[in-house]
Amino acid sequence: MKAVRFLILASAALFVAACLPVTSKNPIGTTVGLHADPALIGLWKGHGDDPDGKDGYFAFIDGGDSLTVLMFQPEEADWNSFVVRTATLGSNRLMNVVAQSTNGQPANDEGLKGNIPTLYRIEGGKLTLALLDDKAVAQAIKDGKLQGTVEPGENGDVHITSDPAALDAFFATAAGAGLFREKLIALSRVTP
């Protein structure tokens, strides 16, 4: 869970957030084809907006049609693994992140079942990642732009259930990209 917290809580605003990331029943990008973006392969490091934050590392390993991602901080004994499949919808590059294990044991956090949609950009040797804003997605569900569920309470977990075609059509738009937080974390490439 610490590596997930590193991903989720990478910016100062997210360090105080109590809710889990928005998840999706279906991966984003199935209508255009999911793949493993070779531009991600290698080792990346960085930390959130907290100036005292410790560096964390993301190792993207080629797995054929997907990527295995190992996340760890050298100062911590814990490490997590994820499977990532990517897609490009319009000008939006998206990851579908699925938790696999913590310290070699199967991931067991019920709140992280499903895909964690993540917007990413690679520019100038930097990889930026952004998660969906739970309140913005909850409003999109309420407005009928997406299908899904929102648990009760101010920080109720949000889960998207839209069918693949509707999901992809929405996230190919600027409105879809607008549901992602501005930036979660910026990573610098360590190895190609």
Q: What is the pLDDT of residue 20?
A: 80
Q: Which of 64, 59, 66, 112 is nearest to 85 (CA)?
A: 66
Using only C-alpha atoms, the chain has a radius of gyration, in whole angstroms, of: 16
Q: What is the side-by-side strand order in the sheet with 158-160?
A: 23-24, 158-160, 148-150
pLDDT above 70 covers what percent of the chain? 82
Count of alpha carbons within 13 angstroms of residue 70, beta-carbon side: 13
- Domain count within the chain: 1
| Range(s) of the domain holding residue 19 | 2-189
Per-residue pLDDT reduced to its tens digit, 24-51: 999 999 999 999 999 999 999 987 555 6
pLDDT of 13 over the 60 cut = no
pLDDT digits (tens, 9 = 90+) for 106-121: 876 655 668 999 999 9
Residue 3 is predicted with a pLDDT of 46
